[in-house]
Amino acid sequence: MLECRNLVVNYESTPVLQNLSIYIDSGEIVALTGPSGAGKTTLLRCIAGLEIINAGSIWLNGDEITTRPAHLRRIGLVFQDNQLFPHLNVAENIAYSLKIHRVSKKLIDDKVAEVLDLVDLAHLADREVVRLSGGEAKRIAVARALVAQPEVLLLDEPLNGLDKELHARLLEDLGKLLRLRGTTTLHVTHDQDEAAKMADRVLDIRQLLS
């Protein structure tokens, strides 16, 4: 499970998150909606360990991780613009976090092959990422986030900017994939329809502030 208790984040003197609390059960997919500028991305950055928080605590499966460095949190993140490393090919992008953790080459090769299969793109392992289509790049970003078997997956408007048909297909595939793997997921989206289709529970960030 993932829990944030009474998180406070201020940028200089401007409050961005004021006493935000959220609880997500293991294996649950929660969609988070709410107006632009309400702090959704900031919350994801806090959970991922990329933001300085002024007060409150974050818990993962019973352990407090509030001050744990980002690379030790076992939290996967998919950004709106994917943020693939342009100088690495598909397989190298996916392998990156495993290499940092000094996983053996054999195990890296096995895990990369497994997630490439999962997103149906095994044939693109050697492709330069700048030569991927929008939908392919999105699948690779998801594969990269899942390869280290994160405890939690954070999705920040992951399907923005895709055409309607591709959006519908990826939404369905992503939902199936995350349910199959039982991945605890927090999915930020401004799209109510996407939220309802994807998630077990839909929350508005304004409900989480006290």
CA distance 112 to 107: 8
| Minimum gap (Å) between residue 59 Cβ and ligand ADP | 21
Are residues 21 and 4 in contact, defined by beta-carbon separation less than 8 angstroms?
A: yes
Please give the residues from 5 up to 34 whose contact with ligand ADP meets the rule CB under 6 A. Answer: 11, 16, 34
Number of residues that bind ligand ADP (CB under 6 A): 10
Q: Would you give the binding string for ligand ADP spanning residues 37-76, x where CB under 6 A is met?
A: xxxxxx----------------------------------
Closest Cα to residue 139, out of 155, 114, 118?
118
Is 85 near ligand ADP (CB under 6 A)? no
Nearer to ligand ADP, 29 or 38 (CB): 38
For ligand ADP, the closer of residues 46 and 146 by Cβ is 46
Spatial separation of the C-alpha atoms in residues 165 and 142, rounded to whole Å? 19
| 14/104 with CB nearer ligand ADP | 14
CA–CA gap between residue 94 and residue 139 (Å, rounded)? 11
The footprint of ligand ADP (CB under 6 A) covers 11, 16, 34, 36-42
